[in-house]
Chains A and B, each alone.
Chain A
Amino acid sequence: MLYDIGTVFWRDWVVLKRRLPKFILSRMVAPMLYLVAFGWGLGRNIQVGSGSYIDFLVPGIMALNSMNISYNSLTPLCTERVYHRSIGEYIIAPVSPSSFIIGKILAAVLRGLISSAIILALALAFGANIHINLGFLMVLVLNCVVFAEVGFLAALSMDSFEELSQVNTYILLPMSFLCGTFFTTATLPDIIRIFIDILPLTHTSYLLRGIAMENPVAWGSVAVLVIYAIIGFILDHRAYNNQLK
């Protein structure tokens, strides 16, 4: 199984390696804009608790960016399935569905982590002061896993880029702004806050921010992300098996 996961990962690594400079450059644009607009521009004179707004902002940007990158890393699977039909090569190969799903998710996690490293480097250049440790990295990985699973599910369930972009428009974009990334959810009306607190990105934002500010880890949030990851894997498995129907 490990060998098969490695093979599936290898394919995505070959493609990523060929486009790595372009990938890195393109991934710098959005976080740079967020940091300039919200960190330097709007947030210059804002204090959050005892720290600066940019220290508050960076974990949120890392959460939303790793969400977007890991989700969008797997949406090309839709084209591979519907137009090129190259996914058939995996289906007829002696490879288990789990190996295929895990290999793809790991490749998306790698992209998410590279992207997060770029943001971190930019944030430090912008003067942010955040504490990074293994827990921070693990939460990022978990976030990438959850949203890579969402990307896999969407790519195997939807038949066009138009449908996939609706996930971006109606789910990811609102989450990017509302899930504790740019501001704390505590200021939102209760009914909205309760809903937003269920969403995985909210937990990632608060976990990353907590670790970055050297607060104790909120294990309840870790558990929520793990539950999302398990449910996502089960749904991905089901979506893969639906290809055989």
Chain B
Amino acid sequence: MIKIENLVKEFTIKNEHKKQVKTLAVDNLSLSVQDGEIFGLLGPNGAGKTTTIRMLTMEMEATAGNIEYQGCSIKEHPIDIKKMIGVVPQNINFDNDLTVGENMELHAKLHHMSAADRKRKIAEMLDFVELSQTINLMPRALSGGMKRRLLIARALIHEPKILFMDEPTVALDPQVRRRIWDLIRNLSAQGTTVVLTTHYIEEAEALCNRVAIINKGRLVAIDTPENFCNRMGRFAVEWDGTEGRQYQFFDSRKEAAAFAGELEHGVRIRKTNLEDAFIELTGRREGV
């Protein structure tokens, strides 16, 4: 289990008058992730998702608060914890002076894998993401989608118990995205805990057992995608109002239909989705 308690991250930045000001990226965040679940961090741009992931993966120090993995604090056992986590970063961060195979080899060596295991796992993972033929190429020769798949393959070489994925399918075409979804489900089925951030709400809805919605560094709500929708009301009525598209939520289709009957323009009745919950909880203007 991953347990986050009162996590705070404060940055010092220069404002327009070139004066140093402090800004809170993560504000007293507390939550826990169960073993084997796919856990989603959702939030508008600048909500603090990536900063949270970077603190969880020890790429960044927290200003305050504590993170524990299986009861061990990252402050006391950083190396042991790093051995059991894998990270798919948001930015493509291959070593451009090394080939694809050498990048994989470096990762495996950094995780203390034996020569035989390295050879086997590199071949296995490249085959898994269908990039075996690229082993001697430089990363810059790969397409964006290939690089994303390679990032995932690299993160999995050392068979991490917990995998962090920061926007794993950003800028990918739907086919590749669906394949990565299948891969994430397979990992979860094999017992790997997956923590992911995403901009794609349908991705969180399709994949995550639980979702935490964060906004301005604070935890707004945490629940299963289904419960988020049920809390809103299972049916949504949307229509063209005076202030643009308007929404109202109802527990039953009958209530929704009754309300819709009183409206005139562009009325639609549909099931409530996670995006509705997300927008209600984070505000309509966020991320614009």
Contacts and interface: CB of A to CB of B under 8 A. Distances in A.
B270 interface: no
A85 B93 contact: yes
B110 A15 contact: no
Interface string B67-102: 000000000000110110101010101111110001
B177 interface: no
A95 B79 CA distance: 7
A92 B82 contact: yes
Contacts of B85: 92
Given A88-B89, A89-B106, A89-B107, A11 B58 contact: no
B98 A90 contact: no
Contacts of B58: 91-92, 244
Contacts of A11: 95, 98, 102, 106
Nearest to A18: B97
A7 B89 CA distance: 22
B93 A93 contact: no
A89 B109 contact: no
Given A3-B112, A93-B110, A244-B61, A85 B89 contact: yes
Contact of A7 (B83, B94, B96, B106): B106
Interface of A: 3-4, 7, 10-11, 14-15, 80, 84-86, 88-96, 244-245
Interface of B: 57-61, 79-80, 82-83, 85, 87, 89, 91, 93-98, 102, 106-107, 109-112
20 contacts: A4-B110, A7-B106, A7-B110, A10-B106, A10-B109, A11-B95, A11-B102, A11-B106, A14-B98, A84-B95, A86-B94, A89-B106, A89-B110, A91-B59, A92-B57, A92-B58, A92-B82, A93-B107, A93-B110, A94-B110
